[in-house]
Structure 1
Amino acid sequence: MSRLRQATCDDTAELWRVRYAVTENTLTPGRIGDDELHAYLQDYGRGWVIELEPAPNPKIAGFAIGDARDGNIWAMFVDPALHGQGHGRVLHDVMVDWLFAQGLTRLHLGTQPGSRAEAFYRRAGWTSTHEGLDAHGDKRFELIHENWNRHA
């Protein structure tokens, strides 16, 4: 049985396990550290996890982190072994709803061109900004509040 809950710094090891397990939108270990991760969880925004097994040894299926300062989707990843079970959409929707509830009118993100994530975001209503690729080679997308249809 899975449970959606707010992410905490206690989830750090599991967040990194999921993040480094992905095969698209990969991250070089060490490029982002615990301090930066914790700042996004506590100071800049909020994160959520889908927990499959509770503490004291939690197992996390996926996580999402949004930046309330500017509407950036800082991270959203699901363990590849658990793709296709709806975890990503649950995480996405709670994060988007929360960010828009903070008064933001536009959200943005970058993702690997041609990836499963790009297709996922397009299905969820995100549109390409046509800005080209960012410094990390990611394609830029945006979601405008007035266009957000949670049940699309």
Structure 2
Amino acid sequence: MPTPRRGLLRPASESDFPRLYEIWSSVDEHRFREDWERFVETATGMLADNRVWVWSDGAQVHGFAAADPVSAEIAAVYVHPAAQGRGIGRALLRKCCDGLLRRGHRHAWLVTSPGTRAERIYRDAGWVEAGIEASGAVRLRKRLVA
């Protein structure tokens, strides 16, 4: 399994928004297509709760993830296509899950589109199906403690 080299996981800031939007809009496998204004509105709310993490090589952000500390939902995991396959998404997801565990959650959950590369990656990492949403999206769950 590749590991990200010379990277830094850090909390996101508003100055990251243009790059986060670029990453978010470059990923083909996601359910929503929002314009810049809606993206900023959503990201600002997550940022206020310290829910967004980025993976940066120091020069540029290559991925980001967000988790809801109240519901234990992994709300986002996005890696720029040019940086995929380097373990960045796994590192971001692990950071989010570790944060949820520190807040006392025993499980995390997320929703993803069925039949996608993302679904395969989550299932390979031990996420199990917990249901199907009305939209047809797959709800996955993972136990955070042994």
- TM-score bracket, normalised by the shorter chain, equals 0.7 to 0.9
Query: Which of the numbers 37, 43, 49 marks the counterpart of 2:54?
Result: 49
Matches within 5 A, 1:134-149: 134-135=134-135, 137-147=136-146
Partner of 1:7: 12
Residue 54 of structure 2 contacts residue 64 of structure 2 at CA under 8 Å; is this kept in 1? yes
Q: Give the number of the structure with larger relative contact order, counting CA–CA contacts within 8 Å between residues 6 or more apart.
A: 2
Residue 13 of structure 2 contacts residue 47 of structure 2 at CA under 8 Å; is this kept in 1? yes
* Mean CA deviation greater in 60-69 or 1-10: 1-10
Partner of 2:107: 106
Judged with a 3 Å threshold, the aligned counterparts in structure 2 of structure 1 residues 145 and 3 are, in CA distance, closer, same or farther, namely: closer
CA displacement, residues 18-51 of structure 1 (integer Å, 9 cap, x when unaligned): 00000111531328431221111222x5111111
CA displacement, residues 89-111 of structure 1 (integer Å, 9 cap, x when unaligned): 11111111111111112211101
Partner of 1:23: 28
Paired residue secondary structure (2:145): helix
Paired residue secondary structure (2:55): strand
**Counterpart residue type for residue 127 of structure 2:** W
Q: Distance in 1 between matches of 2:144 and 2:56?
A: 28
Partner of 2:41: 35
Paired residue secondary structure (2:51): strand
Residue 48 of structure 1 contacts residue 64 of structure 1 at CA under 8 Å; is this kept in 2? yes
TM-aligned CA deviation for residue 145 of structure 1: 2.5
Paired residue secondary structure (1:119): helix
TM-score by length of 2: 0.86
Partner of 1:127: 128
**Counterpart residue type for residue 33 of structure 2:** T
Q: Distance in 2 between matches of 1:24 and 1:103?
A: 30
Number of aligned pairs?
A: 140
Q: Which runs of 5+ in 1 are unaligned?
A: 148-152
Residue 20 of structure 1 contacts residue 27 of structure 1 at CA under 8 Å; is this kept in 2? no
Partner of 2:3: none
TM-aligned CA deviation for residue 146 of structure 1: 2.8
Paired residue secondary structure (2:25): helix
Query: Is 1:71 equivalent to 2:77 in the alignment?
Result: no
Q: Percentage identity across aligned positions?
A: 31
TM-aligned CA deviation for residue 15 of structure 1: 0.8
Q: More strand by proportion, 1 or 2? A: 1
**Counterpart residue type for residue 3 of structure 1:** L
Residue 31 of structure 2 contacts residue 113 of structure 2 at CA under 8 Å; is this kept in 1? no
Paired residue secondary structure (1:95): helix
